[in-house]
Every structure is written in C-alpha cells, then in structure tokens.
Structure 1
Amino acid sequence: MRITIADDEVAFVSDSHGAELHSLRFADEELDYLWMPEEPGPARTSTCFPLLGTVPGGRYEFEGRSYEIPMHGFARETDFDVVDRTDDSVTYEMTDTAETLAVYPFRFRLRVRYALEGPTLVTEYVVDNPGDTPLLYSVGSHPRFACPVDPAQGTGFAGHHLAFEAPEGPEKLVRTFGPREPVEAAFTPDGRRLRLEDGLFPDGAFCLGSLNSDRVVLAGDGSTRALALDIPGASYLQVWSVPGSPFVALEPWYGAITRNPPREEDGHWGRRPGTLALAPCATARHAFCITPLR
C-alpha cells in the first residue's frame, strides 16, 4: 500500500511493502529526486534489517546453530503495518514472527518513521528489544537518487560529484566490489569531493566508513539542483550504481557489513565487527535526512 505525505514544500510517497521510499518531489513540480526502475521488482529502496548486504554463502552461525538469511535480511520483503499516520508523517512497524525466528533467533520490534520538516524528509529507525537477551542487529536503507539531479544536464554522471562537509579521502574506503584504484583516484586532493563516473561501479558498490562528515551532497557542475544527505551516527555510507543507469544509491548503514573478500568472523553473528547490541527492554534510534535542493 502506497501512502503520500506532504507539507507546504515537498511530497513524499512510501510503500508499506518493505517500508520502501518511493518518491520525493517539490510540491509545485513533477521532478522526482528519488529514482525507481520502470519495472517493479524486489527491494528497490526498501528497509534493510537485520542484515546489511550478505553473510558468506547466505548462512551464519549463532550459539551453535546455523541459520540461512537472505541478502539485506527479511524486512524488505515484509508488509509492514501502518501504526501512525498524519498529513506529514507515517510510521510503519514489523515484529518478530515464527518465520523470522526461524532465520533470526531474536525478538524485536522495528518501526520506520518518515516525517517531513519543511523540505527535509527525516527517516528514523526505532528498534525495541522485548526479549531477555541482547538483540544483535544492523539496519539501514538503500535509496536511489536520480543522477543527473537536473534533467537539463543531460544523461550520465559527467560533471557530478559527492561533496563532503569535511575532508575525507581514500583511507575511508573500507570495502569495494571492483578495483580500489578508480575510487581512490576519484577523490580530490583535499578529500572534500568524490567524482562520479561509471568506472567506479563495474562490479557493484563501494563503502566508506568512519566519515568525518555528517553531510554529503550529490550535485552537478553548473546547476543549483542538488540532494543533501545528513547521516550523523551512520557506521557506513555505501555508494553504488549500475553503469549506464540514471541513478546513484547513497545508503546510510548502521551496524555490520561483510568485507570483500569475507573474513571468518563474518559468518558468526555474534562476532561480526560493528554489529549493534541492544540490551533487553531497551530502545535504539537511528535517523538520516534527505533534503532536495533547487
């Protein structure tokens, strides 16, 4: 079920299936800052929980048992309940079931709240642990943003870049599915920009970690249109695209990732570096913001 929320500045469409981000536009125009493929398909911009990416061979070990879990976890294929809705916000919720416990032996409640604050879309993940043991999880999303942001700039990534509010650099590259050299070379010497081009994504994504920046901006030379992403507290920012496609995904992730190539501990749920641990009866919150600019 798709739900539209709006304020005086922007309108946002989400879907209860996977708590998916679907569309983000200024209220007075049709230009979409999110990008969706024409053909429907699974998990396009939906919620990743309790896994980010994959585990080696699709299986992991925990407390002497082996479990099989799909890429990005099971939330992306779940029909969330709508538990709160106003003109400018909507909250989706899922909880553990017999099916989730078979692949992920933890009780949980996950709420995904979307709220508009002027031109900014705030995405908040609220994780509750109703169980009596620590809840081990990761959570995030993989929104795809239109690139070029401004249709007047033609097609392709030419002239487009990611602008960081603080110096970054090749040392922030913690994982890549293609060669490292093109990504490292795409940074400007001061580390504040990363040039976008198809050659960065021959085999998929690359991932930046321990960023100094809370904000990254997707922009093109010579245009005022841009997209600002605020990610304070994010463990990683994964960046990916498909060569020749008109989008770039900027993915705020909180928790653990599997390295490439995988390490031995990546297949053991309790030993995956960066896994978030939530105490019994506790609540955790993770949030990021998307602001279209023009």
Structure 2
Amino acid sequence: MRITIADDEVAFVSDSHGAELHSLRFLDEELDYLWMPPEPGLTRTSTCFPLLGRLPDGRYELDGREYEMPMHGFARDTEFEVIDRTDASVTYEMRDTPATLATYPFPFRLRVRYSLEGPTLVTDYEIHNPGEETMLYSVGSHPRFTCPVDPAEGLAFTDHHLAFDAPEGPEKVVRTFGPRSAIEDAFSADGRRLRLDPSQFPDGAFCLGDLASDRVVLGSDQTRRALALDLPGATYLQVWNVPGSPFAALEPWYGSISGNPMREEDGHWERRRGTLELAPGATKTISFRITPIR
C-alpha cells in the first residue's frame, strides 16, 4: 500500500511493503530525488533488518543452531502494519512471528517512522526487545537517489561527487566489490570529496566505515541541485550504482556487514563484527535525514 505524506514544501511516498522509500519531490515540480527502477527485479529501496549484507551460503550459527536468512534480512519482504498516520508523518510496524523466529530466534518490534520537517525527510527506526535475552541485530536503509540529480540539466553521472563535512579518505574503504584503486584515486587530497565513476561499481557496492562526517552531499559543481544525507552515528555508509543506471545509492547502515571475501565470523551471528545489542525490555531509536536541495 502506497502512502503519501506532505507539508508545505515536499511530498514523500512510501510503501507498506518493506517500509519502502518511494518518492521525494518538491510540491511545485515533478523532479523526483528518489529513483525507482522502471521494471521489477532490481532491489528495492526498503528497510534492511535484522541483517546487513549476506551470509555464507545464506546460513549462520547461533548458540549451536543453524539458521537461514536472505540478503539484508526479511524486513524488506514483509508487509508492515500502518500504526499511525498524520498529514506529515507515517509509522510502520512489524513484529516477530513464528516465521521470523524460525530464521531469527529473537522476539522484536521494529517501527519505521517517516516524517517531514520542511524539505527534510526524517527516518526513525525504533527497535524494541520484548524478550528475556539480549537481542543481536543490524538495521539500515537502501535508498537510491537520482543521479544525475536533475536529468534535464544534461549532466552525466561522472559530473557528480560526494562531499563530506569532515575529512575521510581512502583508509575509510572497508569493503568493495570493485577495484579498490578506482575508489581510492577518486578522493580529493583533503579527503572531503569523492568523485563518482561507474568504474567503482563493476560488481557491486563499496562501503566506508569509521566515518568522521555527520553529513554527505550528493552534488555537482555544475548545478545547485543536490541531495544531503545526515547520518550521525552510522556505522557504515554503503555507496552503490549499477553502471548505466541513473542513480547513486547512499545507504546509512548501523551494525555489522559481511566481508568480501566472506570471513569465517560472518557465519556466526554473535561474532559478526559490529553487531548491535539490545538488552531485554530496552528500546533503541536510530535516525537519519534526507534533504533535497535546489
């Protein structure tokens, strides 16, 4: 089910299937800052929970038992319940079921709240552990932003860059599915800018970790059009493109990611590096913000 919320500046469309981000645009124009594939088949822009990335052969061990789980977890294939809705906000919820407990042996409640504050879309993940054991999880988003930001301006994907509000640099590349040199060579000398190029994505994404930045901006020196992502506290920023497709995915991730190549620990849930923990009865809220700029 598609749901539209709006304020005086922008309109945002989400979908209850996977609590998916679908469209973000200013009210007085048609340009969409979120990109969706024209045909089904390409991974959607939905919520990743309780797993980020893959597992060896799709399996993991926990407390001596083996479980199976698809890439990025099961939330993106789940129909969320709408539990609250206003003109400028919507809150989705999913809870554990016998099916989730068979693949992830933790009771949980996950709420995804989208709200508008002027032109900014705020995403809040609220994770609650109703169980009696410490809950292990990861959570994140998979948004794809239109790139070139405004196709009507005639710019190319390669005219765009990521601008960071603090120095980053090649040492922040913690995982890549393409040539590391193509990413490392794209950083500016001060580490605050990363040029985008299809050569960075021949086989998938790359991931930056231990970020000093709270904000990254997708933009170009040739236009005012841009997209700002505020992700304070994010464990990783994954960047993804399919060469030839007009998008740049900037994915704020919180928790653990699998290695490339896979590491032995990737198949053991409690040993996956960076896995988040939530005490019995506790609730954790994680937030990030998306702002279109014109």
- TM-score, length of structure 1 as denominator length: 0.99
Q: Following the alignment from structure 2 to structure 1, what is the Cα–Cα distance between the partners of residues 257 and 55?
A: 8
Match of 1:121 in 2: 121
Match of 1:274 in 2: 274
Paired letter, 1:139: V
Judge which range, 209-218 or 147-156, deviates more: 147-156
Match of 2:223 in 1: 223
Match of 1:63 in 2: 63
Q: Point out where structure 1 has 5 or more consecutive residues left out of the alignment.
A: none
1:263-293 Cα deviation digits (max 9, x unpaired): 1111100111100000000001111000000
Q: Following the alignment from structure 1 to structure 2, what is the Cα–Cα distance between the partners of residues 254 and 128?
A: 15
Other structure's SS at 1:266 match: helix
Shift of 1:42: 6.7
Q: Following the alignment from structure 1 to structure 2, what is the Cα–Cα distance between the partners of residues 29 and 182?
A: 36
Shift of 1:152: 3.4
Q: Following the alignment from structure 2 to structure 1, what is the Cα–Cα distance between the partners of residues 156 and 51?
A: 31
Match of 2:76 in 1: 76
Match of 2:134 in 1: 134
Paired letter, 1:90: V
Match of 2:241 in 1: 241
Q: Following the alignment from structure 2 to structure 1, what is the Cα–Cα distance between the partners of residues 259 and 105?
A: 23
Shift of 1:221: 2.0
1:104-123 Cα deviation digits (max 9, x unpaired): 00000000000000000000
Paired letter, 2:95: T
1:28 and 2:31 are equivalent in the alignment: no
Match of 1:47 in 2: 47
Shift of 1:39: 1.2
Judge which range, 2-11 or 147-156, deviates more: 147-156
Q: Which runs of 4+ in 1 moved over 6 A?
A: none
Q: Following the alignment from structure 1 to structure 2, what is the Cα–Cα distance between the partners of residues 161 and 153?
A: 16
Other structure's SS at 2:101 match: helix
Other structure's SS at 2:4 match: strand
Asked if 2 retains the 8 angstrom alpha-carbon contact of 1:126 and 1:283, the reply is yes
Shift of 1:43: 4.4
Q: Point out where structure 2 has 5 or more consecutive residues left out of the alignment.
A: none
Shift of 1:220: 1.4
Shift of 1:86: 0.2
Other structure's SS at 1:242 match: coil
Q: Following the alignment from structure 1 to structure 2, what is the Cα–Cα distance between the partners of residues 64 and 155?
A: 54
Q: Following the alignment from structure 1 to structure 2, what is the Cα–Cα distance between the partners of residues 175 and 214?
A: 20
Q: Following the alignment from structure 1 to structure 2, what is the Cα–Cα distance between the partners of residues 48 and 155?
A: 31
What does 1:135-154 align with in structure 2 at a 5 Å threshold?
Answer: 135-154=135-154
Other structure's SS at 1:287 match: strand
Q: Following the alignment from structure 1 to structure 2, what is the Cα–Cα distance between the partners of residues 153 and 243?
A: 20
Paired letter, 1:18: G
- TM-score, length of structure 2 as denominator length: 0.99
Judge which range, 281-290 or 152-161, deviates more: 152-161
Paired letter, 2:114: Y
Paired letter, 2:181: E
1:90 and 2:78 are equivalent in the alignment: no
Match of 1:253 in 2: 253
Shift of 1:79: 0.2
Q: Following the alignment from structure 1 to structure 2, what is the Cα–Cα distance between the partners of residues 124 and 261?
A: 32
Q: Following the alignment from structure 2 to structure 1, what is the Cα–Cα distance between the partners of residues 43 and 137?
A: 19
Match of 1:168 in 2: 168
Match of 1:11 in 2: 11
Asked if 2 retains the 8 angstrom alpha-carbon contact of 1:155 and 1:246, the reply is no
Other structure's SS at 2:223 match: coil
Paired letter, 1:213: S
Q: How many residues align?
A: 294
1:61-90 Cα deviation digits (max 9, x unpaired): 000000010000000000000000000000
1:145-177 Cα deviation digits (max 9, x unpaired): 000002233253121000000110000000001
Paired letter, 2:286: H
